[in-house]
Chains A and B, each alone.
Chain A
């Protein structure tokens, strides 16, 4: 099955700086890559997703890039703010009889004021 690796496991940044989280996946047929944010004690929430026919997608301070050849995708957060502190999960899935979404292990992001 699909294996998604996520790095780093923890990330501390100064407020206003950028944060980058990288994920690699093993199944070249994967073509949907969402990112979920989980604040402490709360439920995961979808923040952005990208499909394989797109190389980059932006939503305000958040962007995701995809490199299908290298089988990796990244989340970029610019001008970080304290409310960006959370655990971020990447995930991957593909069109097949098995619809399960495979998640990375998560990155704990701490934004220092």
Chain B
């Protein structure tokens, strides 16, 4: 167990809907990352937060947004969902969020858009 908790494990929704994915980092970790993994695809970086502030942004769509709360948990909001948004969404955390901090991944949320 990595100590990173993601909920829900599975999510099935229809196109055009909005969903929220939740992540609780490991105790003591200040930084949270979100990654998208589509079928047979690698890990696409979406966004990183450190102690409540956005630190880095990847190829995150404008329909997607995220935030990290004072208690350090994070939420990824996906709106106007399309079929192509179906993927496994991973949250990861690290202690410092620096460039060489090992990432600890959660078990992911599998999103299916029908």
Residue B68 is within 8 A (CB to CB) of chain A in the complex:
no
Number of interface residues of A (CB under 8 A): 25
B-side contacts of A34, CB under 8 Å = 102-103
State the majority secondary structure of interface residues on A.
loop
When the two chains form their complex, are residues A96 and B99 in contact, meaning their CB atoms are under 8 A apart? yes
Contact-size category for B: 20 to 34
Residue A85 is within 8 A (CB to CB) of chain B in the complex:
no
When the two chains form their complex, are residues B42 and A93 in contact, meaning their CB atoms are under 8 A apart? no
When the two chains form their complex, are residues B58 and A100 in contact, meaning their CB atoms are under 8 A apart? yes
Residue B56 is within 8 A (CB to CB) of chain A in the complex:
yes
CB distance from A100 to the nearest CB of B (A): 5
* A residues with CB within 8 A of B: 31-32, 34, 36, 42-46, 49, 51, 89, 93-96, 98-106
